[in-house]
Structure 1
């Protein structure tokens, strides 16, 4: 619905309901009726103030797109989210007016629903005012003002005090595709339940099993769920997030993922020892350069990888490759698989760097879509299990990924490929590493990859304000506090030089806890049933003072908690103030010079580090907090004459690649990523013919052309 028709519809549905609710004095639900009328009048007030604000954004936000064919930026996203919220209110209002006198009408439930969306509308109104401040202070057409530290500081200070729980209760995920809402609700309930017992008794699957089955109170009490999620995102440290995200690495959950994905002939984990490599220079193959193994922080160390191939190809069953096998492999050979036809080397190769905020997960978490890539493209995939922060901060991960790229060039024949064309692919943090590895290759003078597919990449590792960064206030997968903790971990702001004893994060704990799973399920089932009988029961964990009871969550009178720095407070129109949290969030600063390092934040790289990069295909989401980073980076590359494409998919959160099996919308976005990789392999076929002619003359050095 166009905004010109949306606000009149909102006004009408509010008027209709107020007229019905304020009718005859014998109307039922007296107290609830008063709540609804108060709520509807508040919604009217917000709507009347927002209509001219939205019109002003709609008149200019196209100037902030990459181009006319690629509509997408944070201003558009904020307006789209607001419209989604208003549509929910209109739908709920029409339902109330039609069913208020019905025998089965749940008055308390519908009043709570309308109040929740009223709170959400209030906070979105505040975000649009902050966005208007950005629009006025930034240069025309620019989504960031990287020189204005005060502007970013005001954004962070405002985020710290604003109430966020309303976005994670009844309204959770309203801005995303409807098919994703049940999944997001499951994730958030699991997260807050896991947060109750984290660090107290068990860890990994043991804690997860128990907490998942003590989560009944978060099902029956969405307001409690929202308040607990706000507490977790504001107070729990990075180790909680590492532990929770790594649950996907457990044998049980990864087993479910494998069932849903394609079966592959090759799935091998490799360990490459730290030896110096020699690669020919791109400018003259007769000359070579040495590439040292990763050394940052604790000296030379091995690099771990996973080779996935839908079909068995030459080299993948060789004795030479078996020397790199890790102990968890079942060695593969033609004799063990007599029915498998061994195919010749593929001319293509994908080198993959996984996401996880630089702090969590491995190739195992992303195995599902990697298997699909290998099948759909008929190409081997080599995924790098780089060392994770905060134990291994920058530049360790970059060193390992660059070393893996160089090793793959030298040993492509073992991977089932000639590497005539090689594509780097990654999501989020992995997208950052795809770009920075290519920058390293360019700076070293060796062959750069033939293209990059970066899904929702992190190209600016700071908390600098942009309109899409405002979405961290309501993003269930990427809140600003969590994002800032991950960025600081990668930057090594609190790093102590200790070599990790367990490179797979919490996986060893997960393995130990798997044995306790059945016991935890039994104990958890009893507590889960009890939680339905007593929704306010908190499993023995003391409730934070900010945790609402059944009615206190409505926040009709905002809690005016002072912001730490009044000089940086955002000024709102007279008579309006957003809802405030009773406890302030802590956002670690991203002010260290390392955040401005171009190999940390490639968006800030000078032209000499970007000119000469291969074609970069960026796939972003309109509802991702990192959207503006992708738009600005694509603009910068295009301004330098670099080949770049940007695709913006709708209604999906950050991390949609790992959700490709959830619904048709995420599958469509995953298919877009596959299409962009295919473009890398098939682009400029005429040039490719010339390339093949050159490789015939160059002989065995063809992989570096």
Structure 2
């Protein structure tokens, strides 16, 4: 449906509801709720009238920001899409009210609360459209990022801090995503707020998780409380909380449950690569060699952990040389039931994987479900690197370890079950960044570059510059702006005062140590942004808020003191304001503009010679504009690049590939790109191996 038709329908259905409710007010048993709903419907009409010309303006020009006519996708398109989704939900609920308001089973209070929540969401989206309009006016033609010093980037942080966000995490949670994923997102948010509530209590990591399970019920029945608590957590709790929460999926119990549903493989072992100097042939002249030193940043030479996954046991994978480096995972070594001991020949392809997690959390275990499926689909071994994590190991430790593991794999491919005739680097989010920067480093040292890169929703610009897609961090339950900045700050090393050598310990032990460290050194471990909680101005601003404890009501005032007014809002409009006012620490260090941190800022000389880059992004990802602009930059210097933009999925969709048809299809796109790098023929759909065994 055309957006003009959508907004015309919105005005009409709101008028229908208003007319119907006015006619029944005298007979209503809940007059207060009826009056509030009438006020909400009028406010929705007003927001609709204001938003429609903004949407018209964006739809007239947003195609100029696409990679090309065949690849529609950029942050302006996404904002329009999100507003359209919000209005569509309002239409559905309003039509239900108009048709059923007089029914015996109609719940006025519930429907009033639903419409209030979506009215609040539409109000906040209207504010984002005004901010995006500033970007559109200020930026150069086709430029998605505002790289002006200060400007909207700083103003957006100020707005993010003070703008009400809880409405996007309560009744409206995940309205912009595929319906099949909304129950999962609700589970994640409920788990997070329950975990945050119990985090400071004297429990182990699993103990906190168990306690959170019993306290989560109130967040299920009270969406407003859930939204308010989620907003508080995302702005207040420090990096150690996020590391521990994200790593819960790697505890023994949860990882065992996910392993039950995953593809069975013959090889799944942890390898410890010793820290020795490697000698590799020069890419330009194999008769000469170049030395590659082990990673040394921050604490000197140290080993690197990797995980080898192979659906089929291949030559070299059972050799004594590899077994000396290996530690099997789980009760099985190589041969689960139903597999023979016979080894298959070496595969011509080798997949080297760098996992996501914002540079601060997770390991290969968090990603092994889709890697097992890929190993089966591609009939190739996969080496996934467990690089050291920030803030204990900021840049460049992770890059050094990934590059060293890549070089070791090239030199020892025969042990991994491959001839390495075709090598593909693949990574998601932070891992996508590392795929690109590892290839840049290989070119710099004249080492063989991979034959291709497949990067899923990569982070290519680790600065605080604003873009239309990054405005989505106001509403994204998986990547809020405050958490994104914490990850950038940790990887850049801004808040890292001292580091210790990385210990080679299992994930559950690491989780327990992280928890104990937070509980025993809470004040020492508090980072710069958390210290702002103690400032009197934050406490004073919080006490002056007029937002009631049960969440925002569009019929009441929400204005509070802001750090700085955004003058571009119309005089008669003000977004809803939060009662949780905390200054967000904005990372600021020259390292963020290092091309090996932010490859989007790399000079052409560092990008020329990269292998073909295949980017798979999501239209609803806050990092979408990273992918679009990086693809544009590569194309402008005649580097081979493809960009695929999938719809209706959040950041991190690869880790969700078993949850829905849409995430499985997105995973299949990545597999298709890897097959292109391996120069394999596309497997017919009726012969493709299923993701589950």
Query: TM-score scaled by structure 1?
Result: 0.90
Change (3 A) 1:455 1:593: same
CA deviations on 1:430-478 (whole Å, 9 max, x unpaired) are: 0000000000000000100000000000000012100000000000000
The separation in 1 between residues aligned to 2:567 and 2:278, in whole angstroms, is: 54
Instruction: Look up the SS of the partner of 1:59 in the other structure.
Output: helix
Residue deviations 1:164-206 (CA, integer Å, cap 9, x gap): 0000000000000011111100000000000011132113221
Distance 1:2 1:628, change over 3 A: same
Q: Distance in 2 between matches of 1:229 and 1:471?
A: 16
Q: How does 1:367-446 map to 2 (within 5 A)?
A: 367-446=368-447
Whole-angstrom distance in 1 between the partners of 2:281 and 2:510 = 43
SS at match of 1:383: strand
RMSD over aligned Cα atoms: 2.2
The aligned residue for residue 214 of structure 1 is 215
Q: CA deviation at 1:562?
A: 2.1
CA 1:229–1:505 in structure 2 vs 1: closer, same or farther (change >3 Å)? farther
- Pick closer, same or farther for the CA change 1:468–1:336 going to 2, 3 Å: closer
Equivalent pair of 1:172/1:181 in contact (CA under 8 Å): yes
Aligned equivalents of 1:331 and 1:246: distance in 2? Answer: 23
CA distance in structure 2 between the partners assigned to 1:646 and 1:509 by the alignment: 37
Superposed CA offset, 1:394-426 (max 9, x none): 000000000000000000000000000000000
Equivalent residue for 1:11?
11
Question: What corresponds to 1:665 in structure 2?
Answer: 662
Kindly state the Cα deviation for residue 68 of structure 1 after the two structures are TM-superposed.
Answer: 0.2
- For residues 251 and 547 of structure 1, the distance between their equivalents in structure 2, rounded to whole angstroms, comes to 45
- Cα gap change, 1:32 to 1:610, in 2 (>3 Å): same
CA contact (8 A) 1:317 1:332 kept: no
**Cα separation, partners in 2 of 1:70 and 1:409, compared to 1, 3 Å:** same
> Does the CA-based 8 Å contact 1:425-1:434 persist in structure 2?
yes
Shift of 1:153: 1.0
Secondary structure at the residue paired with 1:295? coil
Report what 1:536 is aligned to: none
Q: Give the equivalent residue in structure 1 for 2:523.
A: none
Q: Distance in 2 between matches of 1:502 and 1:69?
A: 48
Of residues 334-343 and 310-319 in structure 1, the stretch that sits farther from structure 2 once superposed is 334-343
Would the aligned equivalents of 1:317 and 1:334 in 2 still touch at CA under 8 Å?
no
How far residue 256 of structure 1 moved from its aligned partner, in angstroms, is: 1.6
4+ residue runs over 6 A deviation: 333-338, 511-514, 543-548
The residue that corresponds to 2:689 in the other structure is none
Unaligned runs of 5+ in 2: 516-541, 683-693
Change (3 A) 1:504 1:482: farther
The alpha-carbon distance between structure 1 residues 57 and 550, as it changes in their structure 2 partners (threshold 3 A), is same
Instruction: Provide the rounded CA distance (Å) in 1 between the counterparts of 2:337 and 2:31.
Output: 76
Distance 1:252 1:415, change over 3 A: same
Q: State whether structure 2 residue 561 is matched by structure 1 residue 562.
A: yes
> Which residue in 1 is equivalent to 2:234?
233
After superposition, residues 649-660 of structure 1 pair within 5 angstroms as: 649-660=646-657
Find the counterpart in structure 2 of residue 264 from structure 1.
265
Superposed CA offset, 1:258-286 (max 9, x none): 11110000001000110000000010001
Q: CA deviation at 1:556?
A: 3.0
Answer yes or no: is the 8 Å Cα contact 1:227–1:547 preserved in 2.
no
Q: Would the aligned equivalents of 2:306 and 2:383 in 1 still touch at CA under 8 Å?
A: yes
The two structures have a TM-score, normalised by structure 2, of 0.91
Contact 2:266–2:335 (Cα < 8 Å) also in 1: no
Residue 690 of structure 2: aligned partner: none
| Residue in structure 2 matched with residue 2 of structure 1 by the alignment | 2
- Equivalent-residue separation in structure 1 for 2:135 and 2:333 (angstroms): 57
Any residues of structure 2 matched to 1:282-301 within 5 Å, and which? Answer: 282-301=283-302
User: Which residue of 1 is the match for residue 639 of structure 2?
Assistant: 642
Tell whether the 8 Å contact from 2:353 to 2:384 is kept in structure 1 after alignment. Answer: yes
Q: Matched residues in 2 for 1:409 and 1:453: separation? A: 18
Aligned to 1:85: 86
Aligned partner of 1:621 in structure 2 is: 618
Q: Distance in 2 between matches of 1:209 and 1:545?
A: 36
Equivalent in the alignment of 2:137 = 136
Give yes or no for contact 1:205–1:513 (8 Å, CA) kept in 2.
no
Q: Secondary structure in 2 aligned to 1:554?
A: coil
Q: How far apart are residue 341 of structure 1 and its match?
A: 2.6
- Take 1:335 and 1:263, find their aligned partners in 2: how far apart are those partners? 8
User: What is the CA–CA distance in structure 1 between the aligned matches of 2:197 and 2:336, rounded to whole Å?
Assistant: 51
Alignment: residue pair count:
655
In structure 2, the CA distance between the partners of 1:240 and 1:512, relative to structure 1 (3 Å rule), is closer
Tell me, in whole angstroms, the C-alpha distance in 1 between the residues paired with 2:59 and 2:468. 14
Cα deviation, 1:360-379, whole Å, max 9, x if unaligned, reads: 00000001000000000000
CA distance in 1, matches of 2:562, 2:544: 18
Q: Deviations over 1:569-628 (max 9, x none)?
A: 342012000001123233222321000000000000001100000000000000000000
Deviation, structure 1 residue 555: 4.7
Structure 1 residues 585 and 76: CA distance shift in structure 2, 3 A = farther
Look up the match of 1:599.
Answer: 596
2:577 corresponds to which residue? 580
* Secondary structure, aligned partner of 2:326: coil
Aligned equivalents of 2:100 and 2:257: distance in 1?
42
CA distance in structure 1 between the aligned counterparts of 2:9 and 2:642, rounded to whole angstroms: 38
2:546/2:558 contact within 8 Å kept: no
Alpha-carbon offset, residue 146 of structure 1: 1.8
1:20 paired residue number: 20
Is the contact between residue 432 and residue 459 of structure 2 (CA under 8 Å) also seen in structure 1?
yes
Query: Structure 1: which 5+ runs fail to align?
Result: 515-542, 686-705
Task: Report how far residue 154 of structure 1 moved.
Answer: 1.3
